[in-house]
Amino acid sequence: MFAGSDTTSLAVTWTLFLLAKYPQIQDQLRAELRALPRPDNLDDEAVLAHYQELAAAPLLDKVCRESLRIVPPVHSSIRVATQDDVLPESKGGEGIYIRKGTMVHVPIEGMNLDREIWGEDAWKFVYVDFGYLYLTLISPRPREKLTTRCCTVRIGGTTFQRQSNPYQVSTPTR
């Protein structure tokens, strides 16, 4: 098993589910992905070019970020302070003093769904460009962008394959 395979597969699964629940977004994403050139072969150059095209697709990026915001593969994280620090308070004030060695719980899902941050639509898959306020709380380390980009490209590749054929992802009818 490769590291990150479970979180990536969860991200892909939830993104496809959200696209099934929101067919209008699925249709817009399908149009964006169908406009991308299809590689004629799978040599290294073609794969790199296709990766770059997927990585630059604006709606795909928004859909993936919104999916990761609503249903993060990692719901929370515990960190240990490596030095004394003061966490700022959102409403001003003196902040919260954290002593070196203190365990800090980071409620990723709670912060990503907080209506005070995201507004009344916090629990909806709306992919609105918030400027982009997106809280990438998968990991506060330098690899954070790499993690998000890997998820985006994996989701993009999967949805590209699904969106390039005539079938539509949908939820079961009752």
| H, E, C per residue of 142-172 | CCHHHHHHHHHHHHHHHHHHHHCCCCCCCCC
- Angle, CA 126 vertex, CA 52 and CA 163 arms, to 5°: 45
Radius of gyration of the chain (CA): 19
For the ranges 7-16, 121-130, 150-159, the maximum mean pLDDT occurs at 7-16
The helix (run of H) or strand (run of E) holding residue 86 is: strand 85-87
Q: Which two tokens stand for residue 142?
A: 């330098």
Q: Where are the domains of the chain?
A: 5-74+136-163
Chain-wide mean pLDDT for the chain?
77
> What DSSP designation does 15 have?
H
CB contact at 8 A, 153 and 51: yes
Predicted pLDDT at 83: 96
pLDDT at 63 over 70: yes
pLDDT confidence bin for 81, thresholds 50/70/90: very high
Percent over 90 (pLDDT), the chain? 10
